[in-house]
Structure 1
């Protein structure tokens, strides 16, 4: 039994996947599981309680047990998904695969979809969702677009204007247009099964958000954006939307 089971009106518990890579702090330079605090703050400001989900070996075997204690899930950003997962050789500028982080994120997404757990994907998280459902990615957008505006480098986010698709869950949450903080050199190419596009970049039409097809799962909160909402915490509508869905999920479990 988790907190939401005991107290349906309590703040829902939202799991957030973490990075797994080398990190330096003080005199230490170690392989680490970590996450920028802005993700946690986004969940908190949206009304939820965040717990971190570091990558685990044999993720598929334990993901369901982990999700038993959660009311919602965020798949965070980070390094590129291994292109072997969508049947492509690795582009020379695609990151080296990140050990078992891919396995863990895919396991979390698939387990969440099975149980209709509310899910928000962020940047890499959108790509994980798409690939988990059989989609593919553009491995290096400058090859497609001829510029690197979506990822300027040196940890400098660019601002893109995105237009939502009318009638989508995303449009209901953020309206027709939004400015988005972007830092991605990859993007969704072929859509995964059961997904629809819910936003595109207004300049070149790059897919900037996807969600489950409402005709197939009208009541499911499965939404993923290519941008970084945790970088603009004056606007937590995406986190609030996830938390509201998590509240309903928690209530349904105990009713």
Structure 2
């Protein structure tokens, strides 16, 4: 018997004991925001954070809730904070600071120099020159996940990439909702759960929203959801 191990759209690997017989992800949700870490199972729909957005600085302040898209611009000013190493932060005002500067912790700095401000990924601590990481985030904006280009750590929250990350989160929650509808008729979730198929389908039609609409139509109007969805995807490719 071959274990599944497929990468699911949530970012976890399937623990199913048989290939193509995936069930809803039962791992703990990996999502977090500036206030808290989600404590639900991954298959459950996350509860939107209703606390005020924490993204503020002396120059700008977001007036939205944490789970809503921010309404303030990026601050171009240099961060004035001092790091634990005693040196000045090399990043932007109001964005996450690294633990130490490049001179004191060069191993965690990539594609940057003293003349370029840095952007730090809090989840893993890696810092990048903002030109490099901005380009990386734009190039992967339509991927299922945003990850650190060095270690692969999933990126859930960063004020600089608020629009990209919240768009992905919203679509992930829509997929979860449709998975729940699917499992009312079939206990298996393949191929809807498979990240590779979801990504290929999205690349082909150019929109996750269109993908979700197609899934909704199929879930609503077919009896054998799993088989019909699989046949539909095969015809598409």
- Structure with bigger strand share is 1
Q: What TM-score do the two structures reach when normalised by structure 2?
A: 0.26
Q: What TM-score do the two structures reach when normalised by structure 1?
A: 0.24
Q: Rg: which structure is higher?
A: 2
